[in-house]
Amino acid sequence: MTDEKHKSTKKTIGSPTSPHLQIYKWNISSLTSIAHRFTGVVLYFSIIFIVWYIIYYAYQINPAESAETCDCPLKKIFDSLFSLAAIGVTFSLYYHFANGIRHLFWDIGKGFDVKTARKTGYLTLFIALLLTIITFAIVIYLKLW
């Protein structure tokens, strides 16, 4: 009886998808794991955008003189959106870089115990935040914004 019930639910559920983000209790391990994926997707689309910008730049008649001088309001909105996106992309890059190295250590069997994994999890988040702050401190210092 229970076996039949189990079978029928299995049929209706269909092929499973994972990981089920909604039903887990959050902790540092799951947070760093999903953040790795999320920042990876952010970086994938950012790189595509940046590469196509380089392509656009390369095929201007004279790239050296292509400094955009338009002073229209729409450009200002775009520029401020751009700055916000730049912070997100910068954080994503540092985070994915640091956590990627953490993953590579796991792959050679190092730092796998729960205590160390939790510590390095907080460490990657801290490093990524610190590097992001340093980067934008330099950007503001050089008056690039």
Q: What is the DSSP string of 42-100?
A: HHHHHHHHHHHHHHHHHTSS-GGG-------HHHHHHHHHHHHHHHHHHHHHHHHHHHH
- For 112, the token pair is 């796998």
Is 9 near other proteins (CB under 8 A)?
no
The footprint of other proteins on residues 89-128 (CB under 8 A) is 93, 97, 100-101, 103-104, 107
Phi, psi (degrees; rounded to nearest 5) at 61? -60, -45
Count of residues in contact with other proteins, rule CB under 8 A: 34
Which among 12-20, 23-31, 70-78, 117-125 is the span making contact with other proteins, rule CB under 8 A? Answer: 12-20
| Residues forming the site for other proteins (CB under 8 A) | 14-19, 37, 40-41, 43-44, 47-48, 51-52, 54-55, 57-59, 63-64, 67, 93, 97, 100-101, 103-104, 107, 138-139, 142, 144
